[in-house]
Structure 1
Amino acid sequence: MANAGREFGADRAGNMLIMFALCAALVIGAAGGALDYMRLTQERSALQEAADAAALAAARLHGKTESERTASAQRIFAQNYRGSDGAAPVVSLSFNGDFVSVEVSHDVPTMLLGVIGKRSFSASAASQATRGVSAPVCLLALDETLPNGFEIDGNAGLTAGNCAVVSNSTDDQGMRVYGGATAEAAEFAVVGGFDGTFSPSPMTGIAPFDDPYAARTLPPEGPCIDASDRLMQANFTLDPGTYCGGIEIMAGATALLNPGLYVMKDGPIKVQSGAVVTAENVTLAFTGATATLYLQGGAQVRLTAPEEGDFAGLALFSESTAPTVEWFTISGGATLDLEGGMYLPTHEIWLKSPTTDRAVLNAATSDYGLIAKRFCVQGAAELEVTHVNPDSLEETLRLKSGVRLVR
């Protein structure tokens, strides 16, 4: 009987040791899982940083052989990798035109998960880079001090498919997209920072663009033209010259502007709802603190720049020394179709659509692009720019970049 008791006690002790061992393994496994998961996260981050550096290095060597680019990328990867000890990660590269893809993988030994049979984990990362571009700048916000050189909000859209959009703003939000708005271009770039989703993501920290046309001036003003009688008619024609105090084109009217230079002095052009304005081979110039353009809902304006003369290629112009001006405004339902450039360095361009009636600025530009103090596109408004001859633009108005990450 005594022997049976001793055997029973030994069995209980053995069972307890087994249970303790099992529990200890579970506890160690749980703790080890948390620790090793943290190491896995760190390893993935280290692999990604080194893979990005390797992809950029290979992209910079465009024109070299694939073997030379691969060797350089692997060397840069090794220099930048700050991950786990042990066997070196496996680095592989592939090339497709201007694009370089890097994939890396690494089996990292576990620290504590081995007690439950997990001897290692696999970490990986991928990166892709491409050569930068020399894209023509078709939208340039000149002001360096204002935030939001480009502000796109609501359901508005900015599209510049074959050219670059640049903001000189040094603010942390030198470009901003929010709400359901969209912004797409060949490239975006900003001196300061950006907020929101752009396609592609903007380059930051660029040098500000100089004002390319700061020295350009208007010719001496002529006498003021009195067009009050014609402006009251349903259909009328205007001739080039200086218009003082502003002009207003009445609702529903149809106006034709003959070719030439129109100087709007100390007053705006107001185009009321439903009016239609056609101006071919015309430059509209603005001088004075109240000289700007207002397009009310439903107004339709087609403006084509001259092909010859001092203002060839420029459809809208003001001098760089002009005073700060009221908003250049296109309201919901209004459309400005522009063929030519815009240089309004002291104007803020505002496209506003509080309803679903879109305010639209369609621009096909060549030498000049659209240059203003800043651009604001709100509500359901749409700003769309196409560069009709992107290879012809002078180097001072091209955005140059070296290489960039794609993913």
Structure 2
Amino acid sequence: MAYATVTQKLRQTCRNFLGDTRGNMTMIMGLASIPVIAAAGMAIDYARISRVHDEIQLIADGATLAAASAKNLSGTSDEKKSQRVDIATNYLTNGLNQLTDAEVVGTPVVTSTSSKVSVSVNATVKGSLINVLDALKKESADFGDGSGGDQDGSGSGGRTYDMTINSEASWNAGVNYLCMLVLNKEDAQSLHVKGTADITSHGCSIWDNSSSNTGLYQNGDATITAKQICVNGNYAGTNFYPVAPQHGDVNCPQLPDPLKDKFLADYEATWSSSDTPVYNGYNSTNKKYSQLTFDASGEHTIYPGRYRGGIKVMNNRTVNMEPGIYFIENGNFTIMAGGVVNATGGVTIVLTDLAAKTTKTDSSATRIDVQAGGNLNIKAPAEGEFAGLAIAQHPNSIPNDSSKSSANSIIGGGTVEMVGIVYYPKQILYITGNGWISQNAELFAIVANKVFVEGNGQLNIGQAADFDAAGLPALPSTGSGEAFVSLR
């Protein structure tokens, strides 16, 4: 009976409570205020987050623009990149130190290449009124109904918002890099592409000095693709991409040889007739030269120096060239079918004659000849004499005619992967019969008297301007040098 009495009293008390309307509005308003406070907190937090993001973005953009537009940089390419990084870092440090509503997480990342500066900043912003809900959640957790946390609204630290701000400023220095310069000033077809051959140069320009009305010549299904194509005289053909070549003295003046002076100075400093040849193929009886021939199986290693009579790598033989300068005198450098030459440690091959230093020779037999399936892998030295030059021929070492038979040639499936510049100031580069040059090189350029690409030969110089990636000096160029800076 006592139990029934207690139960009846409890029920009556609940009925009285539920029937009492005094203070209802206060309770309803109290309950309703929770989502109102939450909404207000979210709005305030969003405004703060947006403001802080914009402030950091402004600082990051200022840092990249300051570095990208910096003047009076000095030193090597790497040193200039380091100076730009320092400029951006100092700007960031000064700006971020003045932030009041955000905390920078870690160290901002600043990088620089030869054409852009990039910044990445991680930061966190702590919530405000919205954390009232987090406090209520934590209070509920204290009674065993919840767990705690941070960004998801749990934990003792309150709600925080993480953000990553990126900025990138790039510049075009107003420089037009030349990945092909044909030096001949008057002959017809000094640069020609025929058959189904292709010359591809997406990242830089092709320039032909010839004043002939057909100085630049294309026929058949052959194509030339370049950022810019320029010929001093005029051109014949239609398959030029993305636009037709420019021509004439105003748009395409004849350019001087940009490598001659340095080449001759480096040659003077490094070649001497008194140096003992590594190989001497001269026969004093018949007064003829013979090549150093590699016909034994296995791999062979050769070293820098003078090779009188030239070098010949036979079928399925491999020759590894140690870093340095190789003078190929009075003879060819020939790579036969299946032959492989590796010279990727910083090598320059100089084609020359004994008399080249003092006398012009119109009967030179010195040339590079990569035949049916032969392969040459070469990378030029990054510094010192002949920096950036992979293969060069002395301007006084001239073949006895201007025909393809005496040209430096890649024929019938031969492949050359070259990082560096080919310099044939008085000679011809001839590619035909499915010969390939530089499909994957970061930097490749040609400065030659003439360039012939025929058959289904492929000359790929599409990434020639990326000298930073190659770790080599910049290519020859034209342009004003005025910088145009853009923000992304």
State the TM-score bracket (shorter-chain normalisation): 0.5 to 0.7
Identical counterparts, % of pairs: 25
Contact 1:134 1:400 in 2 (8 A): yes
Partner of 1:292: 367
Distance 1:394 1:336, change over 3 A: closer
Provide the TM-score with structure 2 as the length reference: 0.51
Per-residue displacement from partner, 1:308-339 (whole Å, max 9, x unpaired)? Answer: 21112110112333324620010111101100
The aligned amino acid for 2:466 is: N
Report how many aligned residue pairs link the two structures: 266
Distance 1:247 1:229, change over 3 A: closer
Distance 1:352 1:396, change over 3 A: closer
CA distance in 1, matches of 2:331, 2:292: 18
Distance apart, 1:369 and its partner CA: 2.7
Contact 2:179 2:465 in 1 (8 A): no
Q: How does 1:24-173 map to 2 (within 5 A)?
A: 134-173=175-214
| Structure 1 spans left out of the alignment, 5+ residues | 1-132, 402-407
Q: Establish whether residue 194 from structure 1 lines up as the match of residue 271 from structure 2.
A: no
Contact 2:371 2:411 in 1 (8 A): yes
Range moving further from structure 2, 223-232 or 151-160: 223-232
CA distance in 2, matches of 1:266, 1:134: 38
Distance apart, 1:393 and its partner CA: 7.7
Q: Establish whether residue 181 from structure 1 lines up as the match of residue 222 from structure 2.
A: yes
Distance apart, 1:134 and its partner CA: 4.3
CA distance in 2, matches of 1:298, 1:396: 31
Question: Which of the numbers 406, 412, 415 marks the counterpart of 1:332?
Answer: 412
Q: Establish whether residue 270 from structure 1 lines up as the match of residue 334 from structure 2.
A: yes
CA distance in 2, matches of 1:192, 1:393: 30
The aligned amino acid for 2:234 is: G
SS in 1 for 2:410: strand
Contact 1:214 1:319 in 2 (8 A): no
SS in 1 for 2:460: strand
Range moving further from structure 2, 265-274 or 310-319: 310-319
Partner of 2:295: 232
Contact 2:388 2:473 in 1 (8 A): no
Contact 1:139 1:166 in 2 (8 A): yes
CA distance in 1, matches of 2:183, 2:352: 19
Question: Which of the numbers 307, 310, 328 marks the counterpart of 1:246?
Answer: 310
Per-residue displacement from partner, 1:228-250 (whole Å, max 9, x unpaired)? Answer: 78723223111111001111111
Partner of 2:451: 375
Contact 2:377 2:416 in 1 (8 A): yes
CA distance in 2, matches of 1:262, 1:389: 26
Partner of 2:246: 203
The aligned amino acid for 2:351 is: F
RMSD, matched Cα? 2.6
CA distance in 2, matches of 1:169, 1:137: 16
Question: Which of the numbers 220, 240, 248 marks the counterpart of 2:271?
Answer: 220
Contact 1:136 1:390 in 2 (8 A): no
Partner of 1:361: 437
Distance apart, 1:394 and its partner CA: 6.6
CA distance in 2, matches of 1:394, 1:226: 34
Provide the TM-score with structure 1 as the length reference: 0.61
| Structure 2 spans left out of the alignment, 5+ residues | 1-173, 281-290, 354-363, 401-405, 482-488
Distance apart, 1:342 and its partner CA: 1.3
SS in 1 for 2:271: coil
Distance 1:365 1:139, change over 3 A: farther
CA distance in 2, matches of 1:395, 1:256: 27
Per-residue displacement from partner, 1:67-124 (whole Å, max 9, x unpaired)? Answer: xxxxxxxxxxxxxxxxxxxxxxxxxxxxxxxxxxxxxxxxxxxxxxxxxxxxxxxxxx
Distance 1:251 1:400, change over 3 A: farther
SS in 1 for 2:454: strand
The aligned amino acid for 1:389 is: D
Kindly name which structure, 1 or 2, has the bigger radius of gyration based on alpha carbons.
2
